[in-house]
Amino acid sequence: MIKRLIGIAMILTLAAGLVFAAGQADTASAAKPIVLRLAETHGADYPTTQGDYEFARLVEERSNGRIKIEVYPGSQLGEERAVIEQVQFGAIDFTRVSISPLAAFSPDLNALQMPYLYRNADHMWEVLNSKIGDDFLDSMEDAGFVGLSWFDSGARSFYNSVRPVKSVADLAGLKIRVQESDLMIGLVESLGAVATPMPFGEVYSGIQTGVIDGAENNWPSYYSTSHYEVAKYFTLDEHTRVPEITIASKLSMDKLSKEDQALIKQAAKDSMAFQIKAWADYEKVAEEAVRANGNQVDYLDDNSAFQAAMQPMYDALSPELKAVVAEIRAVGK
Ligand code: BDP
């Protein structure tokens, strides 16, 4: 009897050992997933962040779970300029940013955010989806980035807490927050206002405490940040259409196989349609909410005075960028 029990105990121990060994073999063969981080300034519900999640979902699905992209919304990894620097030296793998602050690192991008450059949204998309857009995505390697895809960001307009703006003269002397971008500083100054560069996350308190009088952004950001609560005059002058871009760190991408790099690039492109749809939906929600709040929304009778004031910005472009601007303007004509 004792012998039999010992025998059974031995068999059980052996079996447990085998199961354990099999378990170990399993973990060894299913390699640990590659985990990469993406920084996003907007909150989780914002349409652009939704686009980031879609990008991450496609990468995970197409790599059968081998590559996971963790999205960090709400500026958890820092404000845009600081994040871009970290992407440059590989501490953060991806970010989705506005091209305005990115142009400080890759100046040619300024050609894509000139005031009143595009005739309308369709024109901008035709440009971004053409060879011009692809060339720009490829142009950032020297700065340490791999351009992946474009997202929608509507048109940017001025808002402030002081007075309705219906003409260039109404902007005179207003302290307007701009992104950390030389082009945006020049744009606001060309209209006679005082440009104050400041991170996105500081704008609400800046307006509330009177450090600045206002800022400029699209309907979704005006609403999602609650800037509309402290700056109730919104003028739809639509001075710029500034594409959003998703970039990867070249250092991070270089560590991946060519196949995985291609998979990531394709997934980023394929997430665009999702974001563009989410954007259109949220733009309406934001506009309705702002109007329901009783904000004063003004239109310009025509924007020729705004355009004329900004013409020197075009004159100051390098011959190369003047040529790119001419090429952009010719698209679809
Ligand atoms: C929003 C962009 C965000 C910018 C922000 C800003 O989506 O990426 O950084 O404007 O003004 O529209 O800083």
Q: pLDDT (tens digit, 9 = 90+) per residue, 246-272?
A: 999 999 999 999 999 999 999 999 999
Dist. CA 8 → ligand 1 center (Å): 69
Flag whether pLDDT at 8 surpasses 70.
no
Dist. CA 219 → ligand 1 center (Å): 11
Average pLDDT of the residues in 228-256:
98
Domain 5-153+242-283: CATH class, spelled out? alpha beta
Dist. CA 244 → ligand 1 center (Å): 8
239 secondary structure, DSSP code:
E
Ligand 1 in reach of 200 Cβ (< 6 A): yes
Judged by DSSP in three states, 69 sits in strand
Dist. CA 253 → ligand 1 center (Å): 25
Q: For atom 6 of ligand 1, which residue has the closest CA?
A: 200
Ligand 1 in reach of 136 Cβ (< 6 A): no
Ligand 1 atom closest to 80 (CA) = 9
Q: How many helices (H) and strands (E) would you count in the chain? A: 16, 11
Nearest to 153 by CA among 246, 79, 65: 246
Q: For atom 4 of ligand 1, which residue has the closest CA?
A: 98
Superfamily of domain 156-240+294-330: Bacterial extracellular solute-binding protein, family 7 (3.40.190.170)
Count of C-beta atoms within a 10 Å radius of residue 307: 13
**Tens-place pLDDT, residues 54-83:** 999 999 999 999 999 999 999 999 999 999
Ligand 1 pocket test, candidate residues 159, 177, 179, 225, most atoms within 8 A of CB = 179
Judged by DSSP in three states, 48 sits in helix
| Domain 5-153+242-283 and domain 156-240+294-330 have a common topology | yes
Which amino acid would we find at residue 188? V
Place of tokens 């060339």: 135
Report whether 253 contacts 146 (CB < 8 A): yes
- Confidence band, pLDDT 50/70/90 cuts, at residue 30: low
Nearest to 178 by CA among 117, 121, 224, 240: 240
> Kindly report the CA angle at 145 between 188 and 182, in degrees rounded to 5?
15
Ligand 1 atom closest to 177 (CA) = 11
Spatial separation of the C-alpha atoms in residues 213 and 293, rounded to whole Å:
19
pLDDT at 256: 98
Tokens of 245: 């871009």
Count of C-beta atoms within a 10 Å radius of residue 131: 9
- Confidence band, pLDDT 50/70/90 cuts, at residue 31: confident
Ligand 1 atom closest to 179 (CA) = 13
Average pLDDT of the residues in 111-123:
98
Spatial separation of the C-alpha atoms in residues 7 and 15, rounded to whole Å:
12
Strand order in the sheet with 244-249: 67-72, 34-40, 94-98, 244-249, 145-151
Q: Where are the domains of the chain?
A: 5-153+242-283, 156-240+294-330
